[in-house]
């Protein structure tokens, strides 16, 4: 059975993706960076790899840990938030933390797993955000996070030209009730993830390289 891979699966949307794919009867490989995350994933029944996406040395070992796999779905879910606005210059530490996790990690994972996705003619998705959309940006809050997700979209859209046998998409989960989104968010974790899974299962050729919202809408203007 070909696998589903979820990179950054120890909590929130990543953990729920693992739970729902396992409930569907899929074989799931998931990554976590610490003991607590590994334990949560093993308790669900996932095959677990220890990977810290903010550490290039850790990410560099992903390909050999997955050697021989074919991946129907591979998802890069890892991400961190910085909420400062444009009135505050980001520190080097904040910039490195956000960009390493949200962008560099994804760009390091991409060439390692895409051959395995192509082997299954599968889907590679990165967890983006509606906050990445430049044409419709409404405010400057979380500007470093916005920049990182816009860069992630570009990385994804560019990579599709090198992997024509796979479908590559950026995915917006909505404003979700997670630790990052907060309890006041309008979208439940379960609804967001079930929506993302439906989007992934119903991709069209026209969706390749695009930003897709969890409710199935395609972002016309990035």
**Can you give the CATH number for the domain in which 101 is found?**
3.40.50.720
- Assign residue 188 a region: left if phi > 0, alpha if psi is -120 to 50, beta otherwise? beta
* CA angle at 128 for the pair 13 and 26, rounded to the nearest 5°: 45
- What's the average model confidence in pLDDT over 148-166? 97
Rounded Cα distance between 45 and 126, Å, is 23
pLDDT at 177 over 90: no
Give residue-wise pLDDT tens across range 117-135. Answer: 999 999 999 999 988 888 8
Give residue-wise pLDDT tens across range 37-91. Answer: 999 999 999 999 999 999 999 999 999 999 999 999 999 999 999 999 999 899 9
| 160 assigned to some structural domain | yes
Domain extent at residue 17:
3-213
| 133 assigned to some structural domain | yes
- 78 or 1: which leads in pLDDT: 78
- Whether 179 and 12 have beta carbons less than 8 Å apart is answered as yes
Return the residue matching tokens 């979820």.
6
Global pTM value: 0.95
pLDDT at 220 over 90: no
- Whether 216 and 127 have beta carbons less than 8 Å apart is answered as no
In the chain, pLDDT over 70 holds for what percent of residues?
99
| 222 assigned to some structural domain | no
| 220 assigned to some structural domain | no
pLDDT of residue 140: 84
| 219 assigned to some structural domain | no
pLDDT band at 185 (very low <50, low <70, confident <90, very high): confident
pLDDT at 221 over 70: no
Q: What ranges in the chain are assigned the alpha helix state H?
A: 12-23, 35-44, 56-59, 62-65, 92-99, 105-119, 143-159, 189-201
Structural domain tally of the chain? Answer: 1
For the ranges 145-149, 182-186, 205-209, 213-217, the lowest mean pLDDT is seen at 182-186
For the ranges 152-161, 192-201, 210-219, the lowest mean pLDDT is seen at 210-219
Residues 6+ apart with CB under 8 A from 31: 5, 6, 7, 8, 9, 48, 49, 50, 51, 53, 62
| 221 assigned to some structural domain | no
pLDDT at 187 over 90: no
- Whether 42 and 9 have beta carbons less than 8 Å apart is answered as no
| 43 assigned to some structural domain | yes
For the ranges 14-23, 28-37, 172-181, the lowest mean pLDDT is seen at 172-181
């Amino acid at each position: 059975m070909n696998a589903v891979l979820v990179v950054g699966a120890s909590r929130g949307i990543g953990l729920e993706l693992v739970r729902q794919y396992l409930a569907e009867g899929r074989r799931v490989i998931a990554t976590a960076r610490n003991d607590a995350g590994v334990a949560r994933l093993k308790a669900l029944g996932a095959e677990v790899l220890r990977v810290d996406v903010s550490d290039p040395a850790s990410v560099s070992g992903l390909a050999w840990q997955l050697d021989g796999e074919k991946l129907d779905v591979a998802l890069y879910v890892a991400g961190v938030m910085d909420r400062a606005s444009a009135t505050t210059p980001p520190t080097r530490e904040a910039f490195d933390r956000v960009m390493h996790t949200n962008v560099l990690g994804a760009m390091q994972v991409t060439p390692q797993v895409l051959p395995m996705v192509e082997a299954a003619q599968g889907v590679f998705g990165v967890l983006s955000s509606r906050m990445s959309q430049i044409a419709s940006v409404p405010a400057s809050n979380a500007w470093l996070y916005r920049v990182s997700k816009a860069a992630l979209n570009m990385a994804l859209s560019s990579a599709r030209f090198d992997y024509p046998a796979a479908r590559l998409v950026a995915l917006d989960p909505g404003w979700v009730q997670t630790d990052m989104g907060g309890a006041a968010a309008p979208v439940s974790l379960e609804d967001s993830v079930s929506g993302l899974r439906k989007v992934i299962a119903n991709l069209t050729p026209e969706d390749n390289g695009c930003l897709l919202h969890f409710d199935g809408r395609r972002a016309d203007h990035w």
